[in-house]
């Protein structure tokens, strides 16, 4: 960062990667919170010798720049933090006063904390926030980004695969990407070639998730779930019924992908346009964006997370809720060839089938939705989930209000259902699908204040519909009716 850029940044109060501190004679105590926050998010600059008040700032300088610099760098190389940090240090003179600036890069090993893990901070807007327990666990979990699904499962082989799924995939390759069909290879050789299994014949988690038998997928990855729901309204509470369609449980990712892709085909108009020869061609660009969002979700989902990945189709938008965050902010991916996937083998298998873009163009395609439809695109990248929202305007939603489901919770008697709100019904169904969900996780999924969720859970317990087994941490819910 040059001196001119520093002065320019001081005039900008939207500092998500920039923090000023007065620090004339000594390092401020909260500086370590900012170091942790920048390390745990996307990196940023800490500038010493500046006082900010509202929208204005004053350059005070530091009295002993060399000592402050050594104290700061020495602490980051000491035992105060759980890992050694290596910032970039700069010294500037502004109006005859010395100013110190340190760039704290995003750490590849997270969480970064001082003292103990509960002193982990994250950057939110222009401030530092103490990370929640679930955010800390998500950071630990993400240390296996791009690795865990690639690991082999000992004492397994391709007998655990759903051969109908595997043969369907090979048939798809023959139709749409013949060179990758490898027709000269038998199933075992084909699986080894595409990393579905390793050279010892052991399945990888990616291979099992992609083509496994349902019982075996649940056995080795009990958190596996890819949900898809069509809701006849602009919100869950507004809808006359909870949903008009919900995907039946599928064995694996390939089977789920095919069912959802067929549903997505019914959601948007596919107008015809004339080519240069005057022949009408199907304009499937809107559908291609929806398909890209769906397949990207499968490629980037943390299938080992207790959060339930889900696509929700409302009458005015479609939401792709994806367990697991992007490794870098999505805005930094735009216009680049960044293509790091949480599940590299799963990504490769979908790309071979020509169901996903190569080399990081998926983000660009998603953002192209606004140009195609005039509707907004939102990509929310949180610590433990991603929410992609594509608005509907002139997009025709044909099937959202069909096949209304009258009784949304099968095991709840009618007179009790009438006492519940739509949100409480949604929570009850979520618990039915995943008893390990916490109030915080339900809050994140539904984008509703956690205290509201806690009140709903209390109400469900009072009605005798659920009970809690075990402690708040590590326990689970039981459906009683």
Q: Provide the CATH number for the domain around residue 51.
A: 3.30.950.30
The token pair at 260 is 């959802």
8 in the same domain as 38:
yes
> Is residue 239 a part of any domain in this protein?
yes
DSSP codes joined into one string, 79-133: SSBSS----EEEEEEETTEEEEEEEEPPPSS---BBSSGGGBEEEETTEEEEPPH
Looking at residue 152, its pLDDT comes to 92
Return the pLDDT at 279.
44
Does residue 248 surpass a pLDDT of 50? yes
Tokens representing 445? 């999924």
Higher pLDDT, 66 or 447: 66
**Whether residue 244 is found in the same domain as residue 370:** yes
Higher pLDDT, 179 or 214: 214
182-221 in b/e form (b: 16+ CB < 10 A) is eeeeeeeebbbebbbbbeeebbbbbbbbbbbbeebbeeeb
Asked if residue 258 and residue 379 are part of one domain, the reply reads: yes
163 and 299 in a single domain? The answer is: yes
Domain-embedded: residue 399: no
Q: Give residue-wise pLDDT tens across range 210-225.
A: 999 999 999 999 999 8
Helices (H) and strands (E) in the chain, counts: 18, 18
For residue 333, pLDDT over 80 is answered with: no
Domain count, the chain: 3
Residue ending a domain, among 100, 131, 162, is: 131
Domain shared by 236 and 300, yes or no: yes
Q: Is the pLDDT of residue 338 over 60?
A: no
Strand 18-21 versus strand 44-48 pairing type? parallel
Residue 42 has pLDDT above 90, yes or no: no
Is there a domain that residue 28 lies in?
A: yes
**Separation between Cα atoms, residue 229 and residue 263, nearest integer Å:** 10
Asked whether residue 109 falls in the same domain as residue 173, the answer is no
Q: Are residues 8 and 157 in the same domain?
A: no
Residues 86 and 116 in one domain: yes
Running DSSP on this structure, what letter comes out for residue 17?
T
**188 and 42 co-located in one domain:** no
Decide: helix, strand or coil at residue 226. Answer: strand
- Are 399 and 409 in contact, with CB atoms under 8 Å apart? no
Helix, strand, coil percent values for the chain (each to nearest 5):
35, 20, 45
Position 9 scores a pLDDT of: 62
**Are 457 and 420 a contacting pair, CB within 8 Å?**
no
Q: DSSP letter for 150, please.
A: G
Question: Is 358 among the domain residues?
Answer: yes
Return the percentage of the chain with pLDDT > 90, whole number: 25
Q: Residues 422, 428, 434, 440: what is their CA dihedral angle, to the nearest 10 degrees?
A: 70
Q: Provide CB contacts within 8 A for 392, sequence distance 6+.
A: 314, 315, 316, 317, 318, 373, 375
Residues 36 and 172 in one domain: no
Is 406 inside any structural domain? no
Per the model's pLDDT, the better-predicted residue between 55 and 191 turns out to be 191
Q: How many CB atoms lie within 10 A of CB 363?
A: 23
CATH number of the domain residue 300 falls in? 3.30.565.60
Q: Among residues 96, 131, 166, which one ends one of the domains?
A: 131
* Residue 46 falls inside a structural domain: yes
Share of the chain above pLDDT 70, in %: 78
Structural domain contains residue 142:
no
Residue 116 within a domain:
yes
Report pLDDT for 330: 59
Prediction pTM value: 0.58
Of residues 247 and 430, the one with the higher pLDDT is 247
Query: In terms of residue numbers, what domain contains 297?
Result: 149-391
Task: Residue count of the chain, please give it.
Answer: 481
Residues 160 and 270 in one domain: yes
Specify whether 371 is located in the same domain as 232. Answer: yes
């Amino acid at each position: 960062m040059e001196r001119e850029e520093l002065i320019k940044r001081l005039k900008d109060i939207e500092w998500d990667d920039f923090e000023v501190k007065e620090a004339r004679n000594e390092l401020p105590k909260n500086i370590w919170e900012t170091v942790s926050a920048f390390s745990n998010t996307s990196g940023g600059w800490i500038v010493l010798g500046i006082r900010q008040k509202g929208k204005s700032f004053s350059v005070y300088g530091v009295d002993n720049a060399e000592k402050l610099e050594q104290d700061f760098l020495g602490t980051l190389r000491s035992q105060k933090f759980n890992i050694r940090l290596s910032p970039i240090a700069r010294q500037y003179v502004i109006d005859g006063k010395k100013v110190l600036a340190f760039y704290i890069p995003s750490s590849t090993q997270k969480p970064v904390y001082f003292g103990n893990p509960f002193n982990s901070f994250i950057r939110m807007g222009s401030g530092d926030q103490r990370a929640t327990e679930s955010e800390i666990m998500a950071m630990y979990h993400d240390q296996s980004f791009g690795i865990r699904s690639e690991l082999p499962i000992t004492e397994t082989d391709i007998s655990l695969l759903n051969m109908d799924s595997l043969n369907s995939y090979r048939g798809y390759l023959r139709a749409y990407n013949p060179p990758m069909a490898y027709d000269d290879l038998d199933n075992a050789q084909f699986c080894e070639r595409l990393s579905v299994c390793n050279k010892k014949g052991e399945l990888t988690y990616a291979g099992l998730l992609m083509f496994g038998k349902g019982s075996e997928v649940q056995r080795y990855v009990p958190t596996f779930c890819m949900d898809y729901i069509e809701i006849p309204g602009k919100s869950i509470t507004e809808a006359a019924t909870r949903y008009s369609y919900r995907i039946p449980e599928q064995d694996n990712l390939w089977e789920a992908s095919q069912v959802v892709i067929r549903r997505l085909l019914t959601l948007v108009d596919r107008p015809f346009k004339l080519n240069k020869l005057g022949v009408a061609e199907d304009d499937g660009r809107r559908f291609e964006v929806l398909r890209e969002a769906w397949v990207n979700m499968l490629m980037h989902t943390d299938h080992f997370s207790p959060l339930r990945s889900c696509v929700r189709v409302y009458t005015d938008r479609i939401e792709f809720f994806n367990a697991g965050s992007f490794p870098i902010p999505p805005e930094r991916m735009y216009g680049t060839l960044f293509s790091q996937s949480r599940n590299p083998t799963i990504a490769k298998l979908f790309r071979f089938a020509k169901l996903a873009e190569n080399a990081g163009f998926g983000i660009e395609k998603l953002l192209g939705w606004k140009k195609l439809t005039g509707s907004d695109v939102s990509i929310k990248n949180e610590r433990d989930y991603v929410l992609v929202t594509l608005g509907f305007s002139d997009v025709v939603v044909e099937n959202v209000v069909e096949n209304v489901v009258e009784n949304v919770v099968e095991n709840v008697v009618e007179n009790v259902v009438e006492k519940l709100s739509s949100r409480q019904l949604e929570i009850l169904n979520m618990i039915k699908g995943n008893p390990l969900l916490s109030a915080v996780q339900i809050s994140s999924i539904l984008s509703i204040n956690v205290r509201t969720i806690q009140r709903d859970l209390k109400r469900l317990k009072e009605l005798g519909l659920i009970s809690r087994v075990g402690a708040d941490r590590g326990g689970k819910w039981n459906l009683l009716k």
